[in-house]
Structure 1
Amino acid sequence: MPDDITPLDLILLADEEGNTVRVTALGRYPGQADMLTAEIVVETPFVRGRLDLALWGSRLEQWGRVLDRLEAGEDAGWMTVESGPSLSVRLRGERDCPEVVVEDVTTSMVTVVVPVDLPDDWIARHRERLATLSAAWAPE
């Protein structure tokens, strides 16, 4: 994935209420051909936040496994056993819709829970996003 391409969203969980959680691959990580720079962005009418993130092949594979669990009806977390930020999806949140939990226990020590009313085909769309990003990016 050349550094000068348009950023690609790996995750885009958004609803009509203005609640959004997005993970965007921005380009190659400087000096690391097998890594991508990325960011997690949370935007709601109440809260906005952004975290830097690095992505590599095993993290993309792990996201694919998270999608498998979510499709099976299980809550699932991504990057939960690593240092740095993590993202979890609870399929049945307190407001009768899925909740996305973004945690940054390492740096800011902040946790944000975002209810997001997702369309029925959101998992299929995220599989397409994962395939697009995986095809666009390959270690040099």
Structure 2
Amino acid sequence: MVLEEARGGSRRDGWYEGEVVIETGFVGARLPVHFTDADLADLTAFLVARAAAEEDGALPDGPATDWPESGRSAYLRLRPGDPFVVEVRDPAQSGVTVIVPLQLPDGWAARGSSRLGRLRAELDDRH
């Protein structure tokens, strides 16, 4: 199974357009998402906190986080645990929710935070 990060696209009126892609042997889906710089900062904070918890050897638990904030567009619900669960939710258009349990390797949050930092820098350079 592949769960790709949101692909940053163009920015209009303070909003980015991206796409979440899920591919498994059973299902394939593409879901458009709309997010802001503040949403990217929220995701960065989530990943930094997860990376710190990993470094401390803490169990992968904690509250679920919606990204981008639920209610504006399709979104991801990130549920720390073993396994880590990503719920891809599209209440507005299709009404479909896809639940994807992931066995994440050690260091995933730090690597994700680093990739997100590079994406944010690239987006800043464009604008």
> What TM-score comes out, normalization by structure 1 length?
0.72
Q: Which residue of 2 aligns with 1:104?
A: 90
The alpha-carbon distance between structure 1 residues 38 and 27, as it changes in their structure 2 partners (threshold 3 A), is same
Alignment check: 8 A CA contact 2:19 2:31 kept: yes
The sequence identity of aligned pairs, in percent, is 31
Alignment check: 8 A CA contact 2:19 2:33 kept: yes
User: Following the alignment from structure 1 to structure 2, what is the Cα–Cα distance between the partners of residues 76 and 125?
Assistant: 20
The alpha-carbon distance between structure 1 residues 81 and 36, as it changes in their structure 2 partners (threshold 3 A), is closer
Q: Which residue of 2 aligns with 1:55?
A: 35
**Residue 77 of structure 2: which of 70, 88, 96 is its match?**
88
**Residue 9 of structure 2: which of 27, 37, 43 is its match?**
27
Whichever residue aligns with residue 118 of structure 2, its letter is T
Higher helix share: 2
Let me know the Cα RMSD of the aligned residues. Answer: 2.1
Q: Which residue of 2 aligns with 1:134?
A: 120
> What TM-score comes out, normalization by structure 2 length?
0.78
Q: CA deviation at 1:55?
A: 3.0
Matched residues, number: 117
Gaps of 5+ in 2: 54-60
Higher strand share: 1
Alignment check: 8 A CA contact 1:70 1:76 kept: no
| Higher RCO (C-alpha 8 Å, min separation 6) | 1
Q: Which residue of 2 aligns with 1:4?
A: none
Gaps of 5+ in 1: 1-18
Alignment check: 8 A CA contact 2:6 2:18 kept: yes
